[in-house]
Chain A
């Protein structure tokens, strides 16, 4: 019998997803055969690719229920976010110079905000609760007369929690403040309806939803009209918002990926939720395992767990059969644990002990079973090695210990 398992097991779908083979198939002719420049109006090569680009635009629009004309192609969510935040801030700076975001946002947002601070804008970074969610009253209190834009992510990349985007949208609209949503982790996971959502700008990525890397889109509402200062200048493509020859094959890939997401989302989420629940049930048989972030208000694809008294990087090293990511940034030069987990108020130990499991379209039951058994034996082994576990077992409260920080 053929083994159902291929190693390493991929449980890092929030980092990126494989391109769905159906998507790859659709892309290939646009590299070799239909290679025209979509901006060429004078011949059939250009017409063919322009048609493909507009079909893809309609497919992306269909998933998030917006007008296709409101979508601008970019190189990915990072560029979309940069364009949305810097573009809006620069255009509306005469109205006000205050922006609001959240401490647990992706670095694309946080670093764009830092850049805007250097340019003289003022930014408020809101805290989140222990569950990772933004408090609406705190959000309302942070809004000022000179606030021009609020940016909040739909789904958090580390802990998978879903922010209350409809309510934040209502709040911003009622005050005439622009609202940008980073939806990179939400497409194909959450039902996004831009007809009813009061969002003015929304960033998308293809490669988190089984499309290719290097392509994304920015939704820029036209009614009521949102203006942006372009960040990329050139041929005036994409309504002047983003110049540069369109990457037809990438765009076709994103369109097909989003079309498949729309078709398969409901069944896929249900299947993934069942596997996630199984993963959680298995892991919960161990002592001192904690879920990071709200368990209900989260996408089923994400399970972020802290294995207390075990350091995350050593655990990842132990589970090399499984591709996951750690909230511990010990792998980089800094020794800071995840800023997202810190923002939840997690202790340093728990933040350092976290592993993010993200499931996806090609995850199987067998992979989940293997992961549970594998993790159990490795956590047990590392706890035998851990002086903190020993102290815990001896009844010592670690928070009372005076550590010699280094």
Chain B
């Protein structure tokens, strides 16, 4: 299978690999996928007091396109408000990386990972007065 240059670049030089402490209140963690399906993505966001994502980390078990999709979204979510991040569509990811049809599921997984991380963060803060803008 031929990979696009952008996939290869993210695969060879993945951005923001690593983990935050998931018990930290400012961290939202999303883990999606299953080993049985050949891919698992863990995406973590660090959110500041203004509800802006200031940092992100990922770890991915999966093919090159899955690794590239998650690496890309860690870059994209930074500086975004929670709802803006949750609004990232898989089609944008697939287009940016020129994913072939058989790899579209990788972009869907990355979209799901962002949503799950945002959801996790919101759950942690559900009882606080709404601080988030937007």
Flag if A335 contacts B38 (CB, 8 Å): yes
| Contact string against A for B residues 8-30, beta-carbon threshold 8 Å, 1 for contact and 0 otherwise | 00010010010100000000000
Flag if A311 contacts B38 (CB, 8 Å): yes
Residues of B within 8 A of A64 (CB): none
Flag if A311 contacts B37 (CB, 8 Å): no
* A129 contacts chain B at the CB level, 8 A cutoff: no
In the complex formed, the residue of A with least CB distance to B102 is A333
Could you tell me the distance between the alpha carbons of A241 and B109 in the complex, rounded to whole angstroms? 52
Flag if B33 contacts A406 (CB, 8 Å): yes
Contacts A335-B37, A388-B35 given: A317-B14 contact, CB under 8 Å? no
Flag if B37 contacts A405 (CB, 8 Å): yes
Residues 320-355 of A at the B interface (beta carbon under 8 Å): 328, 330-333, 335, 337, 347-349, 352
Residues of B within 8 A of A386 (CB): 59-61
Flag if A311 contacts B33 (CB, 8 Å): no
Flag if A390 contacts B59 (CB, 8 Å): yes
Flag if B35 contacts A348 (CB, 8 Å): yes
Flag if A387 contacts B59 (CB, 8 Å): yes
Could you tell me the distance between the alpha carbons of A135 and B19 in the complex, rounded to whole angstroms? 47
Could you tell me the distance between the alpha carbons of A404 and B33 in the complex, rounded to whole angstroms? 6
Contacts A406-B33, A406-B109 given: A385-B59 contact, CB under 8 Å? yes
Residues of B within 8 A of A317 (CB): 3, 11, 63-64
Contacts A403-B40, A406-B109 given: A385-B60 contact, CB under 8 Å? yes
Count contacts on A: residues with CB < 8 A to the other chain: 29
* B67 contacts chain A at the CB level, 8 A cutoff: yes
In the complex formed, the residue of A with least CB distance to B71 is A385
Q: Is the interface of B mostly helix, strand, loop or mixed?
A: mixed
Flag if B34 contacts A313 (CB, 8 Å): no
In the complex formed, the residue of A with least CB distance to B33 is A406
Could you tell me the distance between the alpha carbons of A313 and B3 in the complex, rounded to whole angstroms? 12
Could you tell me the distance between the alpha carbons of A314 and B36 in the complex, rounded to whole angstroms? 15
Minimum distance in angstroms from B3 CB to a CB of chain A: 7
Minimum distance in angstroms from A227 CB to a CB of chain B: 44
Residues of B within 8 A of A390 (CB): 19, 42, 59
Partner of A388, one of B14, B19, B61, B64: B61
Flag if B38 contacts A406 (CB, 8 Å): no
Partner of A313, one of B42, B63, B109: B63
Residues of B within 8 A of A333 (CB): 101-102
Flag if A330 contacts B60 (CB, 8 Å): no
Residues on A lying within 8 angstroms of B by beta carbon are 309-311, 313-314, 317, 328, 330-333, 335, 337, 347-349, 352, 384-390, 398, 403-406
Residues 36-79 of B at the A interface (beta carbon under 8 Å): 36-42, 59-64, 66-67
Could you tell me the distance between the alpha carbons of A385 and B70 in the complex, rounded to whole angstroms? 11
Contacts A384-B17, A390-B19, A390-B59 given: A313-B35 contact, CB under 8 Å? no
Could you tell me the distance between the alpha carbons of A309 and B64 in the complex, rounded to whole angstroms? 15
Could you tell me the distance between the alpha carbons of A347 and B31 in the complex, rounded to whole angstroms? 20
Known: A333-B102, A335-B38, A403-B40. 4 other contacts (CB 8 A): A317-B63, A387-B40, A405-B34, A406-B37
Partner of B38, one of A328, A347, A398: A328
Flag if B63 contacts A406 (CB, 8 Å): no
In the complex formed, the residue of A with least CB distance to B32 is A404
* B126 contacts chain A at the CB level, 8 A cutoff: no
Name 25 interchain pairs, CB-CB below 8 A, sorted by A: A311-B66, A313-B63, A313-B64, A314-B63, A314-B67, A317-B3, A317-B11, A328-B38, A333-B101, A337-B38, A348-B34, A348-B35, A348-B36, A348-B37, A349-B35, A349-B36, A385-B17, A385-B61, A385-B67, A387-B42, A387-B59, A387-B60, A389-B61, A404-B32, A406-B108
Flag if B105 contacts A311 (CB, 8 Å): no
Residues of A within 8 A of B40 (CB): 387-388, 403
Minimum distance in angstroms from A316 CB to a CB of chain B: 9
Residues of A within 8 A of B33 (CB): 403-404, 406
Flag if A335 contacts B61 (CB, 8 Å): no
Flag if A385 contacts B14 (CB, 8 Å): yes
Could you tell me the distance between the alpha carbons of A389 and B62 in the complex, rounded to whole angstroms? 12
Flag if A311 contacts B63 (CB, 8 Å): yes
Flag if A310 contacts B102 (CB, 8 Å): no
In the complex formed, the residue of A with least CB distance to B34 is A403
Q: Which 8 A-B pairs have the closest CB atoms?
A: A403-B34, A348-B36, A387-B42, A313-B63, A387-B59, A349-B35, A386-B61, A317-B64
* B133 contacts chain A at the CB level, 8 A cutoff: no
Could you tell me the distance between the alpha carbons of A387 and B19 in the complex, rounded to whole angstroms? 9
Residues of A within 8 A of B130 (CB): none
Partner of A405, one of B31, B36, B102: B36
Flag if B1 contacts A331 (CB, 8 Å): yes
